Structure 1
Amino acid sequence: MPRKLTELKRPVPSDLEIAQSIDPIPISQIAEEVGILPEELIPYGNDKAKVRLEVRDRLANRPNGKYILVTAITPTPLGEGKSTTTVGLAQALGAHLGKVAFANVRQPSQGPTFGIKGGAAGGGYSQIIPMEDFNLHLTGDIHAITAANNLLAAAIDTRMHHESYQSDESLFNRLCPPDKAGNRRFSPIMLRRLKKLGIDKTDPNDLTPEEISRFVRLDIDPDTITWRRVVDTNDRYLRKILIGLGPKEKFQRETGFDITVASEIMAILALTTSLADMRERLGKMVVAMSRSGEPITADDLGVGGALTVLMKDAIMPNLMQTLEGTPAFVHAGPFANIAHGNSSIVADQIALKLAGPDGYVITEAGFGADIGMEKFFDIKCRYSGLVPDAVVLVATIRALKMHGGGPRVVAGRPLDPAYTEENLELVEKGAANLVVHIKNALKYGVPVVVAVNRFITDTDAEVELVRKIAMEAGAEDAVMSNHWADGGAGAVDLGKAVIAAAEKPSNFKFLYDLDLPIKTKIEIIAKEIYGAGSVTYSELAEKQIQTYTENGFDKLPICMAKTHLSLSTDPKLKGAPKGFEVHVREVRASVGAGFIFPLLGEMSTMPGLPTRPAFYDVDIDLETGRVVGLF
């Protein structure tokens, strides 16, 4: 199945030109060769397919493959090539070292695709194909999340609308209308609400007036609503909006839009383990509090089942392939700075079973290790029960120079000569950032391999200096990798280093105990991972922590929302700062996803577009029907 690339062009063409020059292997053939049965595959054309979760159950007794996490040092705004490294490493293991290997990555948002960063299919000769499908609609999972999220948003405002002018009796007659014989019935989701209220009755006619009032009236406090609408586009002017301006509406309120991948439903898709588990998580999502201080959930609003119906196909991972025919699962796409930043648990579980005891599953965590890796370990691994065998920490000479005091790196502008000429002093000083991330990974008891993602201007002396510093900091190995230019062949040495590291004993442990108070868990992450000296809280954050603790949400793991451009909460603070203050301005509870969500500093959950967005270059060739200008 895997095929070595033989015609590597120089100079390396654009990502799109490379991707369109390779004919994908039929996805049915990829599936068959990795052991997926025809009835477990749902093709979406010839190049991609969804995989039913039943394959995992069929292979339940098969030992798992080796589980490898790819993360990175604190990146420049250009990114340091984690996705490219994930794909290149999988190609090296599969096409060049004779191993069964899967690349498991997130589906990208169309926000960055049409904004600045571009797609996430990898790059150069280490890509997932078809890259146009990968970076655009794929099989519609993100659209399903948008639909589900906005249905819930509509349900909130609709319920407030109808409660604002109707009596308890009127609400009851509409929620449980009598038939011609005078009989009423509860829908199954209504029985869930009755159980929550402690009302052990199944016949609507048996409810007392007081029970009817408790059942029909959610009495949502509009000031506590945390659920926002979403769209998968960078649209800064939707960050804050006023709704209810129509002449027939009963109220107005301020709200806003987030980008779809910031939705709690995206996090649930990434963290769920089965359809039944997803149904429970969706129903438990807390969207607001009542005026009496009770959490209001999606099931209280009667919409949990409908959300699951909208998401029933999205739970199945998407099977694709790399340029060299290595299988790849593309599933879920939460951002790492405003969510937990990892692909789905079910994709990893399926891949690990298909890979078997001699195979490898390479998965990627978003942004730097202080964000994506920490959340992979402390959130994803808690819910999956999976234990990683090794960490690959991606570094670039460019990023190390930036952390050493190099000039500002700005997306869309040419790099300063400091980044294209040898400068060992900048590299050595900036390597302090690398050392922090190595030591942080080692706190979890997992072996670390540093991958130096090589650029054409990097010198041998700079690469050797990084290797020396990394080894002294405790890395198992530090390897230069040239997979962008050479595909899997350029990552063979990295592959060998990963194979060796994954054979080392792992003493995996979590950073904190879930039974600790919310503040203690926040402070452990801030001090142990970021290097903070203290943590402060706004008055709002203090009140929210108290409310969540009173409602029993304090035993959840922590998902910090912070800038990805610094170990601190100040994006301008580079290198390895120490002793800074972390300020928690707001704390949200993603109860369905299963984490507490502190917002550090000024984090936006809706990105904006730059002066010259990437969409200027995107078009279609009307003669061939092919996409042009996509990266």
Structure 2
Amino acid sequence: MTDIEIAQNVKMNKITQIADQLGLSEDDIEQYGSYKAKIKLPLRVNKETKRKLILVTSINPTPAGEGKSTVTIGLGDALSLLKKRAIVALREPSLGPVMGMKGGATGGGYAQVVPMEDINLHFTGDMHALTAANNTLAALIDNHMQQGNALGIDERRIVWKRTLDINDRALRNVVIGLGGPTQGVPREDGFDITVASELMAILCLAKNLHDLKARINRIVIGYTRDRQPVTVADLKVGGAIAALLKDAIKPNLVQTLGHTPAIIHGGPFANIAHGCNSVLATQTALNLADYTITEAGFGADLGAEKFLDIKVPVLKKRPDTIVIVATVKALKLNGGQNLADLAEEDLSALEKGISNLLHHIKSMQQYGVPVVVAINRFTQDTEQEINYIKETCAKLGVQAIDTDVWAKGGNGALDLAKVVLKTVEQPSQFKILYDQDSDLTDKIKTIVTKIYGGAHVSYSKKASNQLKRFKKLGWDKLPVCMAKTQYSLSDDAKLLGAPHDFTIHVKSFVPKLGAGFIVAMTGNVLTMPGLPKHPAAMDIDINDDGKISGLF
């Protein structure tokens, strides 16, 4: 059966039953039908929980697939089978990948969160609320220009873009305000995908409604003609934008196929944004369960680094264990084996490609947290290949455990769960990668050398000029969010394995003061992706009874 057929054939528990497992009453949740709910704020706190946090990350993604979300969900179900009080905390899917190439983000096989169709499509409307709030702000900016421009905003230096939660390359660069004086002030504009927007980052880093509004007010929307920043607070519309997000800020509660509670909230991409679900979602899980299993987007070089260096200081809780997901196929692809031949045993390619996994292990060990490797098993994997990974990881003092969660659900991750239960109890000395008070260039150099394995950073003329400007404005000490290809440790998507001594090319910066960081744009990363030649949308259908097919 396909993923969607498996999900549709499993009987779900009512969401009130899932809430009850966590000690939540019907008064603590707002139901969206029978199987979805939002958890009301302020958060309930159970001081008796162990508050153990497990971060799941992976090697660099490949067309062979890694299954990070699948392992995350399977591990949650395995802990539940071991009679542990566990919650899975994931990001919300974006319609861009769902309708594009990557597909959904609800796991696979017998390790899924449900209702799968709802979560992958409109869910509880969070993405639409963010899109509406973002575009309301854009409309208010243009209205301010039309109504006399009292703030003296330079129309050439408006940096706030419109958004859409679907891949649409035609909207990357547009011209608006055409048609005469009553139609607005003509200017160049563009669209980002919603999950790359600053409002998404703010939603995922806000600690409460008060913090949400304060962060929104700090957003820089553009500059005056003498290059002074203009914020949402200057426009006096922060309250209105926050009001549009009053429900979106509440974490969403659903369940896995094994009826383990799952909180799914927020969904920034990790290649162009900070790649972590919301602080409120993770905090809620920590408050309600002994073991919170969460994931960060894409590979450890992107999502995990941002989780540890951007999210942890806000969450004020470090992971107790980091799980790195790898597959035999992906490692062989990194080692040069052809995609079409990955089902065949090739120890030579595996020996070369395992460098990618070893690099991620070493980079995560720098944070002082115990590391475990989860080998997401495919049916074609041989015992020789699996054993080679285990033996090689052992040389770094890391245990690698093979899992089979796609076929077996939680039962396929019991060995992994038992190891994780031991590692979360180990003493650790967590430390953030860089000095929070260091300059942006120092932070970028640290990430490039210690996480990516590069040697140099080059800055375009535009980026260099921006750095000088940021220093004058006092923005040069903010955390940095690297926008980089997910497919390679470098900024060249075709450079696989574990390259070293390369140069990262910073083209420009995007200040996101509401989120609290500066985005460094590298390589050819786009904040509005495009659809592939054969988008997943071509395979999705719905019958006369409302049953959906083709989602994955």
* TM-score, scaled to structure 1: 0.86
SS at 1:515 equivalent: coil
The question of whether the paired residues in 2 share the 8 Å contact of 1:479 and 1:493 is answered with yes
1:300 to 220, 229, 234: 234
The question of whether the paired residues in 2 share the 8 Å contact of 1:439 and 1:474 is answered with no
The question of whether the paired residues in 2 share the 8 Å contact of 1:53 and 1:350 is answered with no
Give me the whole-angstrom Cα distance separating, in 2, the residues matched to 1:348 and 1:455: 30
Give me the whole-angstrom Cα distance separating, in 1, the residues matched to 2:456 and 2:360: 20
Q: Deviations over 1:556-615 (max 9, x none)?
A: 211000000000000000111011111100001110011110001111011111111111
In the alignment, what sits opposite 2:55? 69
Give me the whole-angstrom Cα distance separating, in 2, the residues matched to 1:117 and 1:130: 19
Q: CA deviation at 1:473?
A: 2.2
1:224-623 residue pairs with structure 2 within 5 A? 224-247=157-180, 248-249=182-183, 251-355=185-289, 359-407=290-338, 415-417=339-341, 419-475=342-398, 477-622=399-544
Q: Which has the larger strand fraction? A: 2
Q: Deviations over 1:146-170 (max 9, x none)?
A: 0010011112222122226xxxxxx
1:126-275 residue pairs with structure 2 within 5 A? 126-163=111-148, 217-247=150-180, 248-249=182-183, 251-275=185-209
Q: CA deviation at 1:37?
A: 2.5
Bigger mean CA offset, 64-73 vs 372-381: 64-73
Cα RMSD (Å): 1.2
Counterpart amino acid of 1:14?
Answer: T
The question of whether the paired residues in 2 share the 8 Å contact of 1:36 and 1:55 is answered with no
The question of whether the paired residues in 2 share the 8 Å contact of 1:40 and 1:55 is answered with no
Cα gap change, 1:292 to 1:448, in 2 (>3 Å): same
SS at 2:454 equivalent: coil
Counterpart amino acid of 1:112?
Answer: P
1:51 to 39, 56, 61: 39
Q: CA deviation at 1:457?
A: 0.7
Q: CA deviation at 1:52?
A: 1.1
Q: CA deviation at 1:77?
A: 3.4
Deviating runs (4+, > 6 A) in structure 1?
none
SS at 1:432 equivalent: helix
Counterpart amino acid of 1:617?
Answer: D
Q: CA deviation at 1:303?
A: 1.5
In the alignment, what sits opposite 1:81? 67
In the alignment, what sits opposite 1:201? none
Q: CA deviation at 1:531?
A: 1.0
* TM-score, scaled to structure 2: 0.98
Q: Which runs of 5+ in 1 are unaligned?
A: 1-12, 165-216, 408-414
Q: Which runs of 5+ in 2 are unaligned?
A: none
Q: CA deviation at 1:130?
A: 0.6
Counterpart amino acid of 1:614?
Answer: A
Counterpart amino acid of 1:345?
Answer: V
Bigger mean CA offset, 361-370 vs 514-523: 514-523
Counterpart amino acid of 1:286?
Answer: V
SS at 2:233 equivalent: coil
Give me the whole-angstrom Cα distance separating, in 1, the residues matched to 2:14 and 2:475: 47
Give me the whole-angstrom Cα distance separating, in 1, the residues matched to 2:219 and 2:21: 39
Q: CA deviation at 1:55?
A: 3.4
The question of whether the paired residues in 1 share the 8 Å contact of 2:328 and 2:386 is answered with yes
Give me the whole-angstrom Cα distance separating, in 2, the residues matched to 1:558 and 1:464: 38
SS at 1:54 equivalent: coil
Give me the whole-angstrom Cα distance separating, in 2, the residues matched to 1:456 and 1:446: 32
Whether 1:32 aligns to 2:20 is: yes
Q: CA deviation at 1:365?
A: 0.3
Give me the whole-angstrom Cα distance separating, in 2, the residues matched to 1:122 and 1:423: 28
Give me the whole-angstrom Cα distance separating, in 2, the residues matched to 1:500 and 1:404: 32
The question of whether the paired residues in 2 share the 8 Å contact of 1:282 and 1:307 is answered with yes
Give me the whole-angstrom Cα distance separating, in 2, the residues matched to 1:53 and 1:382: 21
Q: CA deviation at 1:481?
A: 0.3
Q: CA deviation at 1:63?
A: 4.5
Counterpart amino acid of 2:477?
Answer: K
* Max Rg structure: 1
Cα gap change, 1:529 to 1:220, in 2 (>3 Å): same
Q: CA deviation at 1:251?
A: 3.2
The question of whether the paired residues in 2 share the 8 Å contact of 1:544 and 1:588 is answered with no
Q: CA deviation at 1:547?
A: 1.7
What is the aligned length? Answer: 551
Give me the whole-angstrom Cα distance separating, in 1, the residues matched to 2:407 and 2:137: 46
Counterpart amino acid of 1:161?
Answer: Q
In the alignment, what sits opposite 2:549? 628
Counterpart amino acid of 1:242?
Answer: V
SS at 2:156 equivalent: helix
In the alignment, what sits opposite 1:195? none
Q: CA deviation at 1:469?
A: 1.1
Give me the whole-angstrom Cα distance separating, in 1, the residues matched to 2:508 and 2:281: 32
Counterpart amino acid of 2:287?
Answer: K
SS at 1:560 equivalent: strand
Q: Deviations over 1:496-547 (max 9, x none)?
A: 1111111111110000011101111111111111111111111111121222
The question of whether the paired residues in 2 share the 8 Å contact of 1:400 and 1:427 is answered with yes
SS at 2:87 equivalent: strand
Give me the whole-angstrom Cα distance separating, in 2, the residues matched to 1:399 and 1:346: 33
The question of whether the paired residues in 2 share the 8 Å contact of 1:40 and 1:54 is answered with no
In the alignment, what sits opposite 2:92? 107
In the alignment, what sits opposite 1:173? none
Bigger mean CA offset, 43-52 vs 546-555: 546-555
The question of whether the paired residues in 2 share the 8 Å contact of 1:337 and 1:560 is answered with yes
SS at 1:67 equivalent: strand
Q: CA deviation at 1:64?
A: 4.3
Q: CA deviation at 1:106?
A: 0.3
Give me the whole-angstrom Cα distance separating, in 2, the residues matched to 1:454 and 1:16: 21
Counterpart amino acid of 2:222?
Answer: A
Give me the whole-angstrom Cα distance separating, in 2, the residues matched to 1:68 and 1:580: 32
Give me the whole-angstrom Cα distance separating, in 1, the residues matched to 2:358 and 2:294: 22
